[in-house]
Structure 1
Amino acid sequence: MTIAVNGVAVADQDWPTPQMAAVHELLRQRAVMLGWLDDRAEPAAIGEAIERVLTEEVRVPDADETACQRYYAQHMQRYQTGELVAARHILFQITPGAPLAAVRAMAEAMLAELHTQPALFAERARSHSNCPSGELGGQLGQLQRSAMVPEFEQMLFGTAVTGLLPQLVKTRFGFHIVAVDQRVPGEILPFEHVRERVAEDLRREAEARALSQYVRVLAGQAQLQGVELDGAVSPLVQ
């Protein structure tokens, strides 16, 4: 079935799902309407314009002290010292001018493949990862907090999940497929020592909710053909 957003046909063959393709087109059209993008722009310019749309139109409230304390009490296991994680990754690097949506689509497709065939992880790391660790099958060894960029740290230490993580990890370097092989627990830190980390974690979750709500609003105002969008669809930022 043909997919269209406000009468514009959407080619979804390069996207993991039709929903992701439709969300990308919704955001592209919003950027055009705001005058931040030419309707015939190249992929790199589209990605930058979508970033601007979400940065300037989606408001994320700051967390107050009460909310931070409540969140800390509900997620104390996140705030530990001395904990270690043994992990592997496959990096799809983002370079200047790269078509961000296409890079993400390739990473999403490989993640879906590895969920069904996890034994292929090392092989795919050696053949596709843009990190030197690819030669080692993606092995990163044992990692501790503050030894990596914040986005990567949050995904590794912000959950108790082991095995292949269900979502891509987006950092300044690109899109990562991550597998956690082992966790060594540490000591829980007092709230006063982790207040800023708690506030940042709350901000990230609020941002995810705000982005999802923003896409729902755009979808509700659009004419969609061949695809349905709901709150489970995340906006394709980057």
Structure 2
Amino acid sequence: MTIEVNGVEITHHAINIESAHHKRPDLDPREAQEQAALALTLRELLRQRALQLDLEVPEDDSDDQALDAVIDRLIELEVDIPQADEATCRRWFEQNPDHFRTPDLAEVRHILVAGHPEDLEEREQARQTAEGLIRQLQADPAAFPALATAHSRCPSSEQGGLLGQVSRGETVPEFEDAVLRLPVGLAPQPIKTRYGFHVVEVLQRIPGTALPFEAVHERIAEYLEAVSRQRALNQYLRLLVGEADIKGIQLDGDTTPLTQ
């Protein structure tokens, strides 16, 4: 893959080097190459525009930091990024109340009966054991700490199964999704996760509370300005693409995601 931007060549070798910065576990090598080609094309467009404005573009193409500084200056000069005033921030706050709450909490204790997800026989045995433990606890709730110490394969077994307060992002999603919906008390069915089956008792629920605007004003402003910057930069890059002679890569100014 060789690309030309207004007669300036971007070599296959350069794209290969750049692709190392775009590799992710969920991205195959071809997609990484495409993203690298796009990034270098846009970078070259910005470099050329900086030259047109007589900015001090480094002669050494490998001086990425110096070129980044020039591109930042170019964007500062040519891209109008609207600022998020207080009224805009307050309107966003009022339209998105669920974004600005303290997290829901559940104080929980559990017994993890381990079962490997690929061992169907072990998983079934774990499920049956967990259901048996629930029946024992329904008859004798005070037995929870002793049963956790004897059966749980979680380090919390040393504290009688006590996990403390659980909120989103602290355990595996499938556990949180179930626990944060449960009422206070012993769950009548075990919770299945990638680790096995959990016997769960919710000791206390602490619902999240709404945060005041003053506590999140700065965070909202940063978010809205980042969105505005991305939108304005995309529009600017589409303009440069539309005016340029680009060969070797297909850029559709209306649909191509020009920035990553």
- Which TM-score applies when normalising by structure 2? 0.46
- Which TM-score applies when normalising by structure 1? 0.50
Q: Which structure ranks higher in relative contact order (CA pairs < 8 Å, sequence separation ≥ 6)?
A: 1
Rg larger in structure: 2
